[in-house]
Amino acid sequence: MRLFVAVMPPVEALQGLADAVAPLRGLPGADRLRWTSADAWHLTLAFLGEVPAERVPELEVALAEVAETHPAHTLRLAGGGRFGDRVLWAGVEGQDWALRRLAEAVHGATAEVTGETDAFGFHPHLTLARAGSVRGRRRAEQRMAAAGLDALAGALDEYRGPEWEAAELRLMRSEHEGGAVRHTSLGAWPLAR
Ligand code: 2AM
């Protein structure tokens, strides 16, 4: 199963961001991106990749332990940027140090179960849109795609969403169905109070 661990912003936070993002979709170049659907928006803490189903109970124990020992915290969705020419994302502000510590603990605990050895690298973000591969495209077209992403990322700079509480961890499954991706929650663990 393709798994990841995430924090899900509440519907008010997602709606605020969706309202801010809607006008961006009319900007030049926006129609060449694949926009993620607002009802699937999430903050990925750790991507676990393919994990055998029989490992899931161990993951559940590990995640319960991390949740018990890491506090709920206050965040807001704010600002944004781009990863190269590929991804447009919205950022996170507030007690993001608590989110970072949580991500680090999740990475450590899940790596013990999955045997993953990658270094911990975490840039809190919510993926809004992805560009297709730029390989094989003409240079001018690549520059245009980059300029489009710059303008979109710049427009996100202004955005400051409402505060919300990151109150639980979720273990998520990602499935590809034809061209679409479906995310389902396999479990949720409340963070400490
Ligand atoms: P992102 O969109 O927040 O960057 C489920 O597939 C989630 O896991 C995605 O939303 C993505 O997070 C993250 N993800 C997917 N493939 C990944 C990969 N190869 N490496 C790291 N994270 C990945």
Q: To the nearest whole number, what is the mean pLDDT of the chain? A: 93
The finding on whether 174 has its CB within 6 A of some atom of ligand 1 is: yes
From ligand 1's centre to the CA of 189, what distance in Å?
21
Does ligand 1 lie within 6 Å of residue 4's CB atom? Answer: yes
Sheet with 87-94, edge to edge strand ranges: 33-35, 126-131, 87-94, 73-83, 160-166
Cβ of 44 closer than 6 Å to ligand 1, yes or no, is: yes
Cβ–Cβ under 8 Å, residues 192 and 42 = no
Separation between Cα atoms, residue 54 and residue 114, nearest integer Å: 11
Residue-wise pLDDT tens digits, 109-148: 999 999 999 999 999 999 999 987 556 667 777 777 777 8
For residue range 32-52, list pLDDT tens digits in order: 898 999 999 999 999 999 999
For residue 151, pLDDT beyond 60: yes
Residue of 17, 47, 88 to mutate, ligand 1, most atoms within 8 A of C-beta: 47
97 vs 152: CA distance, rounded Å: 26
Q: How far is CA 159 from CA 8, 61, 122, 179, in A?
A: 19, 37, 22, 30
Residue located nearest, by CA, to atom 15 of ligand 1: 47
**Using a 6 Å cutoff on CB, does residue 127 contact ligand 1?**
yes
Residue 179 has a pLDDT of 78
pLDDT at 134: 54
Give the HSE-up count for residue 10: Cα atoms under 13 Å, Cβ half-sphere. 12
pLDDT at site 67: 98
Task: Please report the ipTM that was assigned to this predicted complex.
Answer: 0.90
pLDDT tens per residue across span 51-100: 999 999 999 999 999 999 999 999 999 999 999 888 999 999 999 999 99
The preferred substitution site among 4, 45, 122 for testing ligand 1, maximizing ligand atoms within 8 Å of CB, is 4
Check: pTM over 0.90? Answer yes or no: yes
Locate 82 and state its tokens: 């781009």
The arithmetic mean of pLDDT across residues 159-168, rounded, is 98
State percent of the chain over pLDDT 90: 80
Can you give the pLDDT at residue 136? 60
How far is residue 104 from each of residues 5, 97, 108, 109, 165, measured CA to CA in Å? 12, 10, 6, 9, 19
- The dotted CATH code for 2-77+91-128+163-190 is 3.90.1140.10
